[in-house]
């Protein structure tokens, strides 16, 4: 149905943005980005998303950025500060706080736990 298509389009836009590594180049808010790309009012998009998913767009956005951070941490190629920049966090401590809130551990602890043998 229409709501499912809208939700899937929002998810795709968010995931593509995060995977592209372009979050830090975003010059508008996420809500303006989604509204502009979908040519729909953000309040409407937000309502459809949260009604369908039982989750806010913002919470989905945070969860996807944390998933990408986990992925980047497990590669062990970038410092946490660079991962924070790439994912659009204002500081590595902001990323660390959000990461710990969601995963229960710091990015450094996660990286150590996922170190290759």
Residue 22 is predicted with a pLDDT of 85
Per-residue confidence in pLDDT tens, the chain, 117 aa: 999 999 999 999 999 999 998 898 899 999 999 999 999 999 999 999 999 999 999 999 999 999 999 999 999 899 999 999 999 999 999 999 999 999 999 999 999 998 766
C-beta separation of 87 from 71 below 8 A? no
Closest CA to 107 of 22, 116, 25, 75: 75
Residue 117 is predicted with a pLDDT of 61
C-beta separation of 64 from 14 below 8 A? yes
């Amino acid at each position: 149905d229409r709501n499912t298509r809208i939700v899937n389009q929002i998810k795709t836009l968010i995931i593509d943005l995060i995977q592209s590594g372009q979050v830090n180049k975003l010059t508008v808010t996420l809500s303006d980005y989604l509204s502009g790309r979908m040519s729909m009012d953000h309040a409407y998009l937000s309502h459809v998303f949260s009604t369908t998913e039982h989750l806010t767009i913002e919470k989905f956005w945070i969860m996807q950025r944390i998933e990408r951070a986990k992925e980047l941490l497990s590669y062990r190629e970038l410092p946490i500060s660079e991962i924070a920049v790439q994912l659009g966090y204002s500081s590595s401590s902001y990323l660390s706080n959000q990461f710990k809130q969601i995963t229960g551990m710091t990015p450094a602890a996660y990286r150590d736990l996922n170190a290759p043998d």
